[in-house]
Amino acid sequence: MSAPVRALANPSTPWWEMTANNPPSSLIAGGVDKLQSSLSQDPTLRSIDQMWNANPLREVVPVDWAEIARALRIIWLRALRKPSAALAVADLNQDLWRSAIDVWQEAGQRWLGVAGSSPAKGPSSAAADKRFAAPEWHTNPVYRTLQQIYLLASDWLLQQGDVDDMDEAERHRITFHLRQFVDAMSPTLMLLSNPAALQRAIETGGTSVAAGAANLMVDLKAGRLSMVDTEAFAPGRNLALTPGKVVHRNRLMELIQYAPTTDKVHKTPLLILPPWINKYYILDMQPKNSLVRYLVEQGFTVFLISWKNPDATMDEIGIEDYMDLGPLKASDVVREIAGSPTLNAMGYCIGGTLLTMTLAVLAAKGDKRFNSASFMVSLQDFSRVGDTAVFMDEPGIDLIEQQMMERGYLDSREMSNMFNLLRSNDLIWANVVNNYLMGNKPPAFDLLYWNSDGTRMARAAHSWYLRNTYVENNLIRPDTVTLKGEALDLGRIRQDTYAVGAEKDHIVPWDAAWRITQLFGGDVRFVRASSGHIAGIINPPGGKGTYWTQGTGDVAASSPEQWLQSASRHEGSWWLNWTAWLSARSGRKAPPPQMGSSKHPPLQDAPGTYVLEK
Contact partners, residue 372, CB within 8 Å, separation at least 6: 344, 345, 495, 496, 497, 498, 582, 585
Provide the residue type at 33 as one letter. Answer: D
> Nearest CA to 596 among 249, 216, 181?
249
The C-alpha torsion from 159 through 164 and 166 to 171, rounded to 10°, is 40
In this structure, the dihedral spanned by the alpha carbons of residues 12, 17, 19 and 23, taken in order and rounded to 10 degrees, is -160
The alpha carbon dihedral of 380, 386, 390, 391 has a sign of: negative
In DSSP terms, which residues pair with 249 in a beta bridge?
254
Cβ(604)–Cβ(250) under 8 Å? no
What contacts 333, CB < 8 A, 6 or more positions away? 247, 248, 255, 303, 600
Helix (H, G, I), strand (E, B) or coil at 15: helix
Query: What's the CA gap between 484 and 325, in Å, rounded?
Result: 13
**Cis bond before residue 187 (omega within 30° of 0):** no
Give the type of residue at 556: A
Q: Which of 1, 240, 345, 349 is catalytic?
A: 349
Q: What is the DSSP letter of 544?
A: S
- Residue 177: how many CB atoms within 10 A of its CB? 24
Q: Are strands 370-376 and 496-502 parallel, antiparallel or unpaired?
A: parallel
Phi first, then psi: give them for residue 272, nearest 5 degrees.
Answer: -105, 130
Neighbour tally for 34: CB within 10 Å: 9
Characterise 572 by phi-psi region: left (phi > 0), alpha (psi -120 to 50), beta (else).
Answer: left
What letters, b where the CB count within 10 A reaches 16 and e where it falls short, cover 485-505?
ebebbbebbebbbbbbbbbeb
What distance separates the 2 farthest-apart alpha carbons in the chain?
84
Cα 485 to its chain centre, rounded Å, is 33
Residue 466 near residue 414, CB atoms below 8 Å: no
- CB proximity list for 483: less than 8 A, separation 6 or greater: 319, 320, 323, 357, 360, 361
Using CA atoms, how far residue 74 sits from 69, 71, 216, 402, in Å, is: 9, 5, 34, 28
φ, ψ at 482 (rounded to 5°): -120, 125
For the chain, give the number of residues: 614
Strand partners for 454 = 278
Q: How far is the C-alpha of 361 from the C-alpha of 368, rounded, in Å? A: 11
Q: How far is CA 221 from CA 59, 180, 432, 471, in A?
A: 9, 25, 16, 36
Q: Cα separation of 521 and 493, whole Å?
A: 5
271 catalytic? Reply is no
What crossing angle do the helices spanning 43-54 and 32-41 adopt, rounded to 10°? 60
The residue type at 30: G
Q: At what angle do helices 65-80 and 32-41 cross, to 10 degrees?
A: 130
Task: Give the residue numbers annotated as catalytic, written as ranges.
Answer: 349
